[in-house]
Amino acid sequence: MISAVYLINLKGEILIYRAYRDDVSRAAADAFRMQVLAAKEFRSPVQVFEKASFFHIRSSNVYLVAATRENVNASMAFQFLFALVEVFKGYFGGAFEEEAVRENFPLVYELLDEVMDFGYPQSCSVDLLKTFIMQEGQQLDPGRALVAASLAPAQVTGAVSWRREGIKYRKNEVFLDVVENVNLLMSSKGTVLKSDVTGEIVMKTYLSGMPECKFGLNDKLMMQGEGKKGGSGSIEMEDVSFHQCVKLGKFDSDKAVTFIPPDGEFVLMKYRVSDNINLPFKVSPIVKELGRTRLEINVKVKAQYSSVTGLNVIVRIPLPPNTAKVTTTAAAGKAKYEPETSELVWRMRKFPGDTEYALSGEVEMSARIEDKKPWSRPPISMEFQVPMLAASGLHVRFLKIYEKSNYNTIKWVRYISKNGQYLNRI
């Protein structure tokens, strides 16, 4: 299992070293720091140095590294590092950075002690950890702290390890956000090579007690599970994965999504749909190379949704690195050449449904001294947000909440479609 965890800053200094076994020392990370962190460009996120394997991920300006000398479960090692980031973020107020680590090192050690034992990951639920590991500033008076602390273990190990008991809200509310990332890869001839939607259903719960939730979507399989016919309004999900609170056995047997939610915000499920996707935007680009020093650009973007409005739409048109001068006329928004990334960036704050905007421009390039490789013509990418649109066609059919005290719950459901990798080759 995992022998040690290091937190290392961008300069390669070890901020924290926590050993869980004594076969990988603090100094063992030297080879790793030299060859991976100093090299910047690495060929694999897990590498062997001196017969020890190092897993690493990066979160803002900190590398999280796990070292081992055994044949450990690699995906678990990475998942643990990601979980660790979440734990720290939960404690540091959302930002996990070198400064925060330095400022809170006793807390970091305390957390590291709790989330892993002898190299085996233990419960990483921030909500629960907070019940018995608290920041100094927030420490309760001794009497209450003891009560809270002695309560904790039962929940850490209980069947509902993600929710503590005795939660109370005056107003019981649930927010359900359907966030869809639309991925597209379109060839230069305008045919769709690949398109899919990776979606997340993010829940924010402010519910008292131990509520049991049941939830239904217009997924074909789920509807069949309820004995309804998946008619024309249904969609076909290729795959779903659930937060650990969802009873997987029940989902497998009768396709019902039932769970006792954690308190606060969490990702309830992730899904992927690749059939019948309503692509929010269609881009028709023409990029002509006129000789060696001139380019002509003509990009049309059409909104393929109606009655809603897209926000913060950005079209990034890559230009050759030796671009010298760009003149453009845009029907809407503003277009600007950004030399750092060699991109012509066209920003539109609002993009109403069923409209089409065009941008045309001319690019002059400086003659290149060494004419090595012709311009590689990277793809045009798009960024956008379209509230109240679910590109996959998904909608939440119901959300039921049962609790002993039978309180009323206010439920909110929102949809938003965002860009994932939205690429048009040119």
Q: Of 267-306, which residues contact another protein (CB under 8 A)?
A: 267, 269-270, 272
Return the range that interacts with another protein (CB under 8 A); candidates 158-166, 168-176, 296-304, 394-402. Answer: 158-166
Q: Of 360-379, which residues contact another protein (CB under 8 A)?
A: 372-374, 376-379
- Asked if residue 74 binds another protein (CB under 8 A), the reply is yes
Q: Is the dihedral of CA 385, 386, 389, 392 positive or negative?
A: negative
- Closer to another protein by CB, 53 or 218: give it: 53
- Closer to another protein by CB, 24 or 303: give it: 24
- Binding map of another protein across residues 17-56, x = CB under 8 A, - = no contact: x-xxxxx--x--------------xxxxxx-x--x-x-x-
For 248, counting Cβ atoms within 10 Å of its Cβ (0-12 exposed, 13-18 middle, 19+ buried), the class is exposed
Among residues 72, 260, 344, 390, the one that binds another protein under rule CB under 8 A? 72
Listing DSSP states for 149-196 in one string gives HHHHHHHHHSTTTT--S----SS-EEEEEEEEEEEEEE-TTS-EEEEE
For residue 244, the minimal CB distance to another protein (Å) is 5
Among residues 106, 227, 231, 291, the one that binds another protein under rule CB under 8 A? 106
Return the range that interacts with another protein (CB under 8 A); candidates 194-202, 279-287, 296-304, 345-353. Answer: 194-202
Q: Which two tokens stand for residue 137?
A: 């500033």
Among residues 60, 61, 82, 413, the one that binds another protein under rule CB under 8 A? 82
367: alpha, beta or left? (left if phi > 0; alpha if psi -120 to 50): beta
Among residues 10, 11, 60, 105, the one that binds another protein under rule CB under 8 A? 105
Amino acid letter at 43? R
* Beta pairing, strands 410-424 & 173-186: parallel
| Total binding residues toward another protein, as defined by CB under 8 A | 102
- Asked if residue 202 binds another protein (CB under 8 A), the reply is no
Q: Which residues contact 224 (CB under 8 A, 6 or more apart)?
A: 230, 255
- Asked if residue 193 binds another protein (CB under 8 A), the reply is yes
Q: State the Cα–Cα distance between residues 183 and 274, nearest whole angstrom.
A: 9
Among residues 12, 76, 279, 403, the one that binds another protein under rule CB under 8 A? 76
- Closer to another protein by CB, 69 or 328: give it: 69
- Binding map of another protein across residues 162-191, x = CB under 8 A, - = no contact: ---------------------x-x-x----
For 422, counting Cβ atoms within 10 Å of its Cβ (0-12 exposed, 13-18 middle, 19+ buried), the class is buried
- Closer to another protein by CB, 174 or 197: give it: 197
CA count, 13 A, side-chain hemisphere, 322: 16
Q: Is the dihedral of CA 7, 11, 13, 19 positive or negative?
A: positive
- Asked if residue 221 binds another protein (CB under 8 A), the reply is no
Q: Give the Å distances, CA to CA, from 255 to 105, 265, 316, 355.
A: 45, 24, 41, 40
- Asked if residue 73 binds another protein (CB under 8 A), the reply is yes
Among residues 60, 61, 150, 306, the one that binds another protein under rule CB under 8 A? 150
